[in-house]
Structure 1
Amino acid sequence: MSQLVEVNDITQRIYTVRGVKVMLDRDLADLYGVETKRLKEQVRRNIDRFPKDFMFELSNLEFRNLRSQIATSSWGGPRYVPMAFTEQGVAMLSSVLHSKKAIQINVQIMRAFVQLRHLVLDHAELKREVAALRSQTEERFEVVFTVLDKLMSDDNESKNKIGFVKKD
């Protein structure tokens, strides 16, 4: 099967809300080729299939924070608080959206979630290996470990930007 959507396009639409990786209703509707209104309608008709760990609506604060991170349309973006779907919720969507495209896109989204999970696990494994290596080496290599710690840190603001700086 040829890819309908690039995995990178899917992973850019996965956000972390309440410590959970989610996709928003409008992004899913766009990928599935349906109106957001219709996707929400199907979910509400089958609400028993979507417990809180599968789908939740964002709070007003979460919605405002997310809107500041995502560009909005000239009409001011969505008027209603979006639904956020966890990986299990996205999988459940294929049972309420009955098109062949929805099923194919769903498979690709599941693969993107798995790919993200593997990246996180690989990062954690690398941290463990560096810690083990650190305990076996001498003090003279401490500067190497300091640099490695900075590179592997989750604090993006402390990383220097790469590129040319234009002098005024």
Structure 2
Amino acid sequence: MSKEQELSIPDEVVIGKIYFIRDQKVMLDRDLAALYGVETRVLKQAVKRNMKRFPEDFMFKMTKAEFESWRSQFVTSKADQKGLRYAPFCFTEQGVTMLSCILNSDRAIAVNIRIIRVFTKLRQNLTDTLSLKLEIEEIKKKLSNQSKNIGLVFSYLDELMEKKENATFRPRVGFKAGRD
């Protein structure tokens, strides 16, 4: 496989391997190992040898409850349970970056760059989406105010129509031309 083929990982593939666990976007050890082209146990061994590089906000291990909940969400056949017998390590964006330091290969560095770009793109999309939501809320408020104002105008028009209907005819007062 050439280097160009190794780097041609579509965004969708990386995005499909990002999960939301403990209110954080994370990637699992088995998915990262597959992207890096190493076995999951090799990746875990490298991490265990360098635990000082992975504080809780960079990497954590799923609890049994989280693991069971996660497994139940993804119905897997026995053949697809590779790496799912044990609770996986979950790597945050910073943890993925740290992995490139301990998996010192050209592929690991290239894959890391790709993953970090996808995380950055996701963050930008989230920011864009948030701005759009804020703009929509502002438009909704304006429309709500406008509908209240239109209702007020119609109520004033109704009052004027009632006054006109209830008004009595009065003769005109003033100077009349042509009379002496």
CA contact (8 A) 1:23 1:85 kept: yes
Residue ranges of structure 1 left out of the alignment (5+ in a row): 141-168
User: 1:139 aligns to what?
Assistant: 147
CA shift, 1:76, in A, is 6.9
CA shift, 1:73, in A, is 4.0
In the alignment, is residue 102 of structure 1 matched against residue 108 of structure 2? yes
Residue ranges of structure 2 left out of the alignment (5+ in a row): 149-180
User: 2:63 aligns to what?
Assistant: 59
Out of 44, 48, 72, which is 2:48 matched to? Answer: 44
**So what's the TM-score if we normalise by structure 2?**
0.73
Give the letter aligned to residue 142 of structure 2: Q
User: 1:8 aligns to what?
Assistant: 12
Equivalent residue pairs, number = 140
- CA offsets, 1:58-94, max 9 Å, x none? 0011111111222434257221110000000000000
RMSD: 1.6
**So what's the TM-score if we normalise by structure 1?**
0.78
CA shift, 1:120, in A, is 1.2
CA shift, 1:50, in A, is 0.2
CA contact (8 A) 1:25 1:82 kept: yes
Q: Deviating runs (4+, > 4 A) in structure 1? A: none
Instruction: Choose between structure 1 and 2: higher helix proportion.
Output: 2
In the alignment, is residue 89 of structure 1 matched against residue 77 of structure 2? no
Distance across 2 between alignment mates of 1:76 and 1:101: 25
Give the letter aligned to residue 65 of structure 1: S
Distance across 2 between alignment mates of 1:35 and 1:91: 19
| Residues 116 and 32 (structure 1), Cα distance of their counterparts in 2 relative to 1, 3 Å cut | same
CA shift, 1:139, in A, is 2.5
User: 1:17 aligns to what?
Assistant: 21
Identity %: 45
Give the letter aligned to residue 113 of structure 1: F
| Residues 76 and 100 (structure 1), Cα distance of their counterparts in 2 relative to 1, 3 Å cut | closer
